[in-house]
Amino acid sequence: MGRELINRITKKKSGVYLSTHSSNDDAPFHSVHIKFLSDIYDTKGQKGLDKEIIKMLHEYASLRGQHHSLQKYYYALNSPVNDKIYKEYINKINDYYNTLTDEDKKTLWSSNKTDRANKYHEYENYMRDEMYGKMAIKCTEYDLIMDRLKDSRGSDLYKFNYYKNLISKVLDVSEEYGVDFDTKIPFQDFGSDDETAYGVMSSFSNYYKDILKGLNINVDNISTDSWSDGKYIITINDKDTFETYAWENINGVIDNIESMKEQIKIKEGDISYE
């Protein structure tokens, strides 16, 4: 069975184009408008497009060449976490499959499926969609890294690793806390220490502390106070203060972490890039 080979991805006003050809023929690469990718980009934005391309690359397509439009997908596919995510979700799908009876399995690809066979397909589709979404987070990570590198000075490799480490920790902790940066108010369910004392809301203090800890930056104490609706003051080690907001975007969080690191006198060389 052939695979679709892709050597360039282009976004235009008229939609998303792939430079592609099939591995089954010798025809040259040619640019094709892909309607379903264009529709996804129009409705779900860059993250939706990234997730769909990651799905394609796992199921029936492959990258060719080193065009800059492909680099984020190479980055995501080659990330160690990619294999970990894949194994986790495929194992869950296989576990569900093993609960089917022989009769259920016989009808999986027929037009007269059992109820359990139908539920298996629903479950598999849901889990694969969630799996590809998690894998595509690495595409977002790559975009954020490259955006930071535009204005940075010094060794590109050093800075790349620096931002890779920092941004991956921000994204990982944000996922753990259920922070969705695609919403207008990502930290709507977060509050000050007083507001989170009864466990109803998530804690800004714990959120930032977990990110700093992941960067090997330990603080003696961290607290959060509210000074206006949706506006907060974070205090580290009883002296350094930082403003944050319920509507803070991911770049704002990254800026906050960099400011915190600088204020508590942590040298960049002390941060592990493992």
- Bridge partner residues of 11 (DSSP): 16
Q: How many Cα atoms occupy the beta-carbon half-sphere of 124 within 13 Å?
A: 14
Q: What is the pTM of this model?
A: 0.86
Three-state SS at 65: coil
Alpha helix ranges (H) inside 107-239: 115-149, 156-176, 204-214
Q: Alpha-carbon distance 42 to 39, whole Å?
A: 5
Write down the H helix ranges in 150-234.
156-176, 204-214
How many helices (H) does the chain have, and how many strands (E)? Answer: 8, 9
| Amino acid identity for residue 75 in this structure | Y
* CB 264, CB 240: distance < 8 Å: yes
215 in Cβ contact with 261 (< 8 Å): yes
Residues in contact with 53: Cβ distance below 8 Å, sequence separation at least 6, in sequence order: 9, 37, 73
Any idea what DSSP says for residue 27? Answer: P
Per-residue pLDDT of the chain (274 residues; tens, 9 = 90+): 679 999 999 999 999 999 999 988 888 999 999 999 999 999 999 999 999 999 999 999 999 999 999 999 999 999 999 999 999 999 999 999 999 999 999 999 999 999 999 999 999 999 999 999 999 999 999 999 999 988 766 568 888 999 999 999 999 999 999 999 999 999 999 999 998 877 778 999 999 999 999 999 888 899 999 988 899 999 998 888 999 999 999 999 999 999 998 887 644 444 444 4
- Nearest residue to 47 (alpha-carbon basis) of 170, 165, 181, 174: 181
Instruction: Round to whole Å and give the CA distance between 156 and 149.
Output: 8
